[in-house]
Chain A
């Protein structure tokens, strides 16, 4: 079945790096996503990675994928207070009806 797991909470100091982790169970997953949700708002697509890639970097964001362990991580360099939000991991593959989301990790950035 499809299942995506994330830890619930992460607290970091401003300027440090944040690493948010995600594990998934569906070996058919071909697309893996990170979304950001600010309080009371919808989800904003941050980045995604195809399953044939190990790493993707986009400015302060680095996504690492370990397909063997079905483990995905999002690293935010130089974390700012504006990065405080809930981060959702999601997975899917072509032809499946919709993405499967994790429960979200709340990132708290302390000044």
Chain B
């Protein structure tokens, strides 16, 4: 089946630890995105990548890092520098780099205790 797969679905980490969220797509999409969702605040863009080996910061990139070594993969690392990491993280992809019509994965819940 074609789609965007995020893993794990639920993740618990101790404060001060880095954690990496996986995002894989088999849609042959060029562009990939990471959004963060907090209750009542909608979606905020963390990082995006329009092409392999290239990525740009979004609106809330501080405390996060990404890589795009393969077209189908765009992992997100939540570092210990992120002050409030507990949130729902959504990965998305788009057929091209125009930034339109994006498709989402099922999301990953990260809880830092």
Binding site for B on A (CB under 8 A): 8, 31, 33, 35, 40-45, 48, 88, 92-99, 101-104
Output the least CB separation between A89 and chain B (Å).
10
As a 0/1 sequence over residues 23 to 48 of chain B, the CB contacts with chain A under 8 angstroms (1 = contact) are 00000000001010000111101001
Residues of B within 8 A of A41 (CB): 106-107
Is the Cβ of A94 less than 8 Å from the Cβ of B107?
Answer: no
- Which A-chain residue is minimally distant from B57 (CB atoms)? A97
Nearest chain B CB to A57 CB, angstrom units: 19
Residues of B within 8 A of A97 (CB): 45, 48, 50, 56, 58, 99
In the complex, the number of residue pairs spanning A and B with C-beta atoms less than 8 Å apart equals 60
A8, B40: Cβ atoms closer than 8 Å = yes
Cβ contacts under 8 Å, B42 to chain A: 88, 101-104
B17 contacts the other chain (Cβ, under 8 Å)? no
CB-CB under 8 A from A101, the residues of chain B are: 35, 42-43
**Which A residues are CB-close (under 8 A) to B41?**
103
Q: Can you sample 20 A-B contacts with CB below 8 Å?
A: A8-B40, A31-B101, A33-B101, A40-B107, A40-B109, A42-B90, A42-B107, A44-B104, A93-B100, A94-B98, A95-B98, A95-B99, A96-B99, A97-B48, A97-B99, A98-B33, A98-B102, A99-B100, A101-B42, A103-B42
